[in-house]
Amino acid sequence: MVQIPVLIARAIPLLHQAAADKPGLVRVSVPCSLRDGALLLDWLAAQPLYPQFYWRQRDGSEEAAVCGSVRTFRDSRQARDFIREHNEPELRIWGLNAFDQMTLEAFGTLDSLLFVPRIALIRHAGNAELVVYLCSDTSLRDDLPLALAALESLCAAQPLPVLRANVTDVHHQPEKEAWCDLLRQALDAIARKAFEKVVLARRTTLTLDAPLNAAQFLAASRQVNHRCYHFMLALAPEQAFLGSSPERLYRRHHLTLETEALAGTVGSGENDAQAQENARWLMNDGKNQHENLLVVDDICQRLQGGAETLDVMPAEIVRLRKVQHLRRPIHATLLQEDDADCLLRLQPTAAVAGLPREPARRFIRDEEPFERGWYAGTAGYLSLHRAEFCVALRSALIQERQIHLYAGAGIVAGSDPQEEWLEIESKAAGLRTLLDNDAG
């Protein structure tokens, strides 16, 4: 990676040149080179600026590490309007959208925590750049000292230590007996036709013998959980929400949108032969196929009125470290470039909430013994012509010596509570097994 002092020296004159005595937003970009294997997460973890956001596309083609904030938005409509107002094609606003409205002490009640970063290091299609933003409602010149101070605070990347953590206590919400009771309630509601499907989740709280560094935990996950999006929103080194999710909510390029139905699960198996046998079973299992097609139908219905064409691709198997999923890609041509509208239509999908969406969400709010917060929301970015969000699954909330792990299962007629418990155990294991000396 190019030395940080060199990048700072290149950026400073560009910032001075851009700092006119007028309001607005300016994006200053300095191309840089990243050697093979250079890790943006290591760089981000060394920086003193917060909030921090890390995002890596699941095929590895795009990666971003951003820090500091010049504008923060509490919902996607505010972010969309800001993008349209400034009409900067390369401006990207990063962050999370919650499953339901939530409250954060530093930000109040919000639907999203999206922000224009002060500084971003971005890698895309073999190219890399350091980006610095100037932004002011009165004078860009007034914002210049803050931008220069942020640049001067940048540090060189430091290799993240190997993750070491001892679990001293494990607590599930709900525990197994209560989980089975909850699922029987859901199955009764399905039998009464209150809804066709509901996705119920469990939160597992692990207490550790020492505070956990969020970036270390995500680095350990990224090393073993392949074919996943990796994301992290950190407000402090030991206060963050992060995850390694296999599911795309959507990717948009101008009016072209790609989304998917990811629903239906089986274990990966202990070897390739067992994995192939499990995959064949999943592809032919009526219950899992029905669950997946419910999600397909819901996505297609929600895009009606916002898209002029819709194409559903054949089903395929996605093999992960602990589980395999049934996935059907869906392609659409939108009527307008509007990410707030896309998020409103698609989040949450039937794969994380249920169907019909609103009765399923009411059941979740009333019956789940915890608030989901960021879990089952979305993580990613929006911009004028491009956007991409993943669903915030296989995720964790880190609060110093506690880590909350989340996993869910889709419940339809015929679901078995014992089997669904084993499914969420497998899903949670993708992150839980990263910790040594597990007490549970």
Q: Do the beta carbons of residue 117 and residue 147 sit within 8 Å?
A: no
Type of residue numbered 359: P
Q: Do the beta carbons of residue 261 and residue 315 sit within 8 Å?
A: no
For residue 85, say whether it is annotated as part of any ligand binding site: no
Structure tokens belonging to residue 116: 């224009």
**Radius of gyration, alpha carbons of the chain:** 22
| CB contact set of 112 (below 8 Å; sequence gap of 6+) | 73, 74, 75, 76, 79, 95, 96, 97, 98
Annotated catalytic residue 176:
no
Closest-CA residue to 212 (of 432, 440, 403, 406): 403
Catalytic residue chosen out of the listed positions 63, 196, 238, 247: 247
Is residue 173 classed as helix, strand or coil in its secondary structure? strand
Residue 301: other Cβ atoms inside 10 A: 15
Catalytic residue chosen out of the listed positions 63, 197, 260, 337: 197
For residue 423, say whether it is annotated as part of any ligand binding site: yes
Residue 347: other Cβ atoms inside 10 A: 24
Structure tokens belonging to residue 440: 């549970």
Annotated catalytic residue 322:
no
Q: Do the beta carbons of residue 14 and residue 131 sit within 8 Å?
A: no
> Which of the residues are catalytic?
197, 247
Residues belonging to the binding site for Mg(2+) are 291, 423
Residues belonging to the binding site are 291, 423
